[in-house]
Amino acid sequence: MQSATRLLQSIPVDELTGAISVPIYQTSTFVQEAPGVNKGYDYARTGNPTRRALENILATLEYGHSGYAFASGLAAIDAVVKLLSAGDQIVAIDDLYGGAFRLFEHVYRRFGIDIVYCDTTDPAQVAAALTDKTKLVWLESPSNPTLKVSDIAAIADIAHAHGAWLCVDNTFASPVLQQPIKLGADIVVHSATKYLGGHSDLIAGAVVAATEEIGLQLKFIQNASGGILGPFDSFLVIRGLETLPLRIERHCSTALKVAQFLQTRPEVRAVYYPGLEEHPNHAVAKKQQPGGFGGIIALVLEDDTQEAATQVVTGTKYFHLAESLGGAKSLLCHPATMTHKSTPVAQRRAAGVADSLIRLSVGLEDAEDLIADLAQALDRLSEAKETLKEAVREAEAQLA
Ligand SMILES: *Cc1c(COP(=O)(O)O)cnc(C)c1O
C-alpha cells in the first residue's frame, strides 16, 4: 500500500510565501530578464508551476522518473501513442476502455499504426501476439469494465524481451493499490478524472515515465501537441490527491461488502470483483495489489438483456446513472449502451461485456445504504418478472 505520509510529503509548500497549498499560477507567460534568461518558466504550455507541482507528485506516487499532466485521460493516452511511428504495432488488452479503442482504431490506424488485441490475462497470448513491429504493449489492470487482472511483471518481461515498452492504464487501481513501474512497466497512464481527482469535478489525465529516455520524449510531445492540464484543474487534482489513500481504503472495504452481497442475489448471474476468491484472476490481483482490490464492481444479470439492465440502472437512489467513476458519490452505468457503445457488438460480447453487464463505482456512502439501494432495485426486477409471468399464465388460461 502506498504510504500516505510519502504522498503528503510530496506536495510542496510554496517557497515564495510559505503557502501550505500549491498556488494557482493563472498566467500564460513569464517575464524574462533577457532573452532566454528566466526563473525556469517561459511559456505556460511548456511549463506552469502549478502543473509542475502536480507532475512531480505524480512521478513520486508512481515511482517514476517524471510525470506529465494532460487535459484528459485520452489526451494522456494520445501522447503515449505519439511515441510511435507509422508501421509500428501495439498489442493491447481485448476489453480496452472504449475511448482508447476509438482513438486506436479510428485515428491511429489511419496514421499507419497497427493494433492487435488479445486476452492479456494469459501472458502466453501476449507473447504469441508480439512481432518485431511491436513497440508498445497496452494493459489496463484491473480492466474496464470486466475487472480482468493481468500479470504486469510477467508481461513486462515478455515485452522487454521483444524490445517493446509496456504501458499500464492504472486508472482503476490508482497508485495507492498498484505501482506498475515497480513491477516493470515503462509508462503508466491515468484518467485523473477518476480516483486521482476523486470528486467528479474535473477532467484530467496523467502519464508517468519510468526512465529519462521516455520522459524527455513525452515532455517534447506534451509541449509540441499542447494537450496540457490548466493550472486550476492541476490545483484541484492536487487537492484530491491529499485524501487519495483514505478514500481508496474506504472504496475497497465498501466494494468488497457490496460484491459479497451481490453474490447472494438470485437475479445476479455473475459478479466481477478481483477481491472475490471466485474471480479468475484473484491470485494475480492479490500478488500485485496486496493493499486492496478497488471500488469498481461489474455484474451480469440472470436475465441477460439490455431491458433488465436498464430497469436496474434506472431503479437506484444512491447509485446515480452516469458515465465515469472514482468519485465520492456512487455511480452506475450500462457499458453496452454507454461507455462501450463504440466497440462493435461481437467484439464487446467476446470480451465479456454482456448485454446486461452493469458497472458500479462504489462511492463513499455507508455500505449498508448502498447495499439496501441495490437490494430494492433487484427486488423490483424480480417483481416485474413475476407480474409478467402471471400475465402470460392468465393469457394462456384464457386461450385454453
Ligand atoms: C475514463 C477512462 C479513460 C479516459 O479518461 P478521460 O479522463 O475520460 O479522458 C481512460 N482509461 C480508463 C480506464 C478510464 O476509466
Same domain, 92 and 54: yes
CATH of the domain at 199: 3.40.640.10
229 and 88, same structural domain? Answer: yes
Reported pTM: 0.95
Do 214 and 306 lie in a common domain?
Answer: no
The answer to whether residue 95 is catalytic is: no
pLDDT of the residue at 2: 64
Domain carrying residue 309: 245-393
For 239-276, letters b (16+ CB in 10 Å) and e give bbbbbbbebbbbbbebbbebbebbeebebbebbbbbbb
Point out the catalytic residue in the list 41, 42, 45, 287: 45
Interatomic CA distance for residues 375 and 262, integer angstroms: 9
Say which residues have a Cβ less than 8 Å from residue 184's Cβ, sequence separation at least 6: 152, 153, 156, 157, 160, 166
Residue 72 Cβ inside 6 Å of ligand 1? The answer reads yes
* In-domain check, residue 400: no
C-alpha cell at 251: 472504496
Find out whether the beta carbon of 144 lies less than 6 Å from any atom of ligand 1. Answer: yes
The answer on 92 and 49 residing in a single domain is yes
Is residue 398 assigned to a domain?
Answer: no
Are 252 and 121 part of one and the same domain? no
Query: Does the beta carbon of 66 sit less than 6 angstroms from any atom of ligand 1?
Result: no
Q: Are 146 and 250 contained in the same domain?
A: no
Distances in Å between the alpha carbon of 233 and those of 77, 134, 189, 373? 18, 35, 17, 33
- Torsion over CA: 145, 146, 151, 156 (sign): negative
Q: For residues 94 and 92, give the distance between their C-alpha atoms in angstroms, rounded to a whole number.
A: 6
Residues 323, 299, single domain; the answer is yes
Question: Quick one: 234 and 324 in the same domain?
Answer: no
**Is there a domain that residue 346 lies in?**
yes
Q: Is 140 contained in some domain?
A: yes
Decide whether any atom of ligand 1 lies within 6 Å of the 93 Cβ: no
Q: Is residue 320 part of a domain?
A: yes
- Marked catalytic residue, from 95, 151, 169, 303: 169
Residue 191 CA to ligand 1 centre (angstroms) = 4
Q: 395 in helix, strand or coil?
A: helix
Where does a domain end: 196, 223, 241?
Answer: 241
Pocket residue to mutate for ligand 1, from 191, 195, 361, most atoms within 8 A of Cβ:
191
Domain boundary among 187, 213, 241: 241
Residue 261's domain is classified under what CATH number?
A: 3.90.1150.10
**Rounded to the nearest whole angstrom, what is the distance from the C-alpha of residue 40 to the centroid of ligand 1?**
31
Domain identity same for 225 and 303: no
Active site residue 182: no
Mean pLDDT by 10 residues, the chain (400 residues): 86 95 98 94 97 98 98 98 98 91 96 97 98 98 94 98 98 97 98 98 98 98 98 98 98 98 97 97 96 97 96 97 96 91 82 93 98 97 82 84
Position 399 in a domain: no
If asked whether residues 181 and 271 sit together in one domain, one would say no
Whether 18 is covered by a domain: the verdict is yes
Q: Whose CA is nearest to atom 5 of ligand 1?
A: 73
Can you state the angle between helices 306-313 and 367-399, rounded to 10 degrees?
A: 140
* Ligand 1 pocket check for 140: Cβ under 6 Å: yes
Rounded Cα distance between 118 and 124, Å, is 10
Asked if residue 124 and residue 34 are part of one domain, the reply reads: yes
Question: 83: closest CA among 136, 24, 37?
Answer: 136
C-alpha angle 196/199/200, rounded to 5°?
Answer: 100
User: Which of 202, 226, 241 is at the close of a domain?
Assistant: 241
Grid coordinates representing 293 are 482490490
Q: How many domains does the chain have?
A: 2
State in Å: Cα 133 to ligand 1 middle.
Answer: 27
Name the H helices within 145-230: 152-161, 174-177, 212-225
Q: Are residues 237 and 354 in the same domain?
A: no
Active site residue 97: yes
